[in-house]
């Protein structure tokens, strides 16, 4: 809780480490109707600074108990107060109990990678309306991930799909090899193997009646971004576009 004049409000800050050493972070304050407001994270040893530019607020403190506690000072216009943030687990009950029907079409799908003959399971979200719509495939970072890429309660690909589909782009997200409803084995797969999964996903999307076949691309995060770039340079029908999020590569470019 954040104590203010006349009462207090509950705040939650979600912090997720990314592969390039940076962090995704967001602020939620339901009583003030704040949802997923961007937070800038600066971490040096055990010294932590969180900046919420849109709210004119900040938190400066220490990381304690192996990250289980953040103790410091919260500042915003007219308020400077001590604050202790404690790690909490996401409520699985809350996730399963309340499900709001989204304003778009969502379906469970599967397709076959012809290179491996393995079936890949995923979710396709398509905007409301007659179409045809531009579309993209989401490609996950290193490590076996499910289609939503769930990390400590944050569903990176689930939320990204929701945002993009609400804004007119169809999205296909799928379980990695050996995860969820996808066949195959992740452990012995190479980056080149993942390129064939991406190509199979592209081919599947291009065959859907509500999808604009010439406007289908790839969006990859971390290793998935490298997979997307390799797929774009491979012989055959390349994606119409590629979005690269934190692709791995040299620290400096000359």
Chain centroid to CA 25: how far? 12
Q: Is 118 exposed, middle or buried (0-12, 13-18, 19+ CB in 10 A)?
A: middle
Q: Average pLDDT for residues 37-44, to the nearest whole number?
A: 91
Q: Is the pLDDT of residue 211 over 60?
A: yes
The CA-to-CA distance between both ends of the chain, in Å, stands at: 48
pLDDT of residue 246: 86
Give residue-wise pLDDT tens across range 217-244.
999 999 999 999 999 999 888 999 999 9
Is the pLDDT higher at 221 or at 23? 221
- DSSP characters over the chain: -EEETTEEE--EEEEEE-TTS-EEEEEEEGGGTEEEEE-EEEEETTEEEEEEGGGTEEEEEEEEGGGTEEEEEEEETTEEEEEEEE-----HHHHHH--PPPSEEEEEEEEEETTTTEEEEEEEEEESSS--EEEEEEE--SS---TT-EETTEEHHHHHHHHHHHTT-EEEEEPPTTSTT--S-STT--HHHHHHHHHHHHHHHHTSTTEEEEEEEEEEETHHHHHHHHHHHSSSS--S-EEEES----S---
Instruction: Compute the distance between CA of residue 128 and CA of residue 39 in angstroms, rounded to an integer.
Output: 31
Instruction: For the beta carbon of residue 253, count every other beta carbon within 10 angstroms.
Output: 5
Q: Are 54 and 36 in contact (CB under 8 A)?
A: no
Q: Is the pLDDT of residue 84 over 50?
A: yes
Q: Is the pLDDT of residue 92 over 70?
A: no
pTM of the entire predicted model = 0.63
């Amino acid at each position: 809780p954040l104590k203010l004049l006349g009462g207090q409000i509950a705040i939650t800050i979600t912090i997720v480490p990314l592969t390039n050493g940076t962090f995704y972070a967001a602020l939620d304050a339901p009583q003030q109707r704040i949802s997923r407001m961007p937070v800038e994270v600066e971490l040096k040893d055990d010294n932590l600074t969180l900046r919420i530019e849109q709210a004119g607020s900040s938190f400066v403190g220490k990381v304690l108990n192996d990250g289980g506690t953040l103790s410091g000072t919260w500042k915003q216009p007219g308020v400077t107060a001590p604050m202790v943030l404690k790690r909490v687990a996401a409520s699985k009950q809350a996730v399963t109990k309340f499900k709001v029907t989204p304003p778009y079409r969502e379906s469970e799908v599967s397709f076959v990678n012809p290179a491996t003959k393995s079936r890949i399971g995923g979710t396709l979200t398509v905007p409301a309306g007659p179409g045809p719509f531009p579309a993209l495939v989401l490609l996950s970072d290193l490590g076996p991930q499910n289609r939503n890429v769930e990390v400590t309660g944050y569903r990176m690909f689930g939320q990204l799909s929701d945002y993009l589909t609400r804004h007119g782009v169809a999205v296909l997200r799928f379980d990695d090899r050996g995860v969820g409803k996808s066949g195959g084995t992740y452990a012995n797969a190479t980056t080149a193997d993942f390129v064939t999964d991406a190509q199979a996903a592209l081919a599947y999307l291009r065959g859907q009646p509500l999808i604009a076949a010439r406007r289908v691309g790839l969006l990859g995060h971390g290793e998935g971004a490298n997979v997307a770039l390799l797929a774009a340079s491979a012989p055959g029908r390349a994606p119409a576009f590629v979005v690269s999020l934190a692709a791995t590569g040299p620290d400096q470019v000359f």
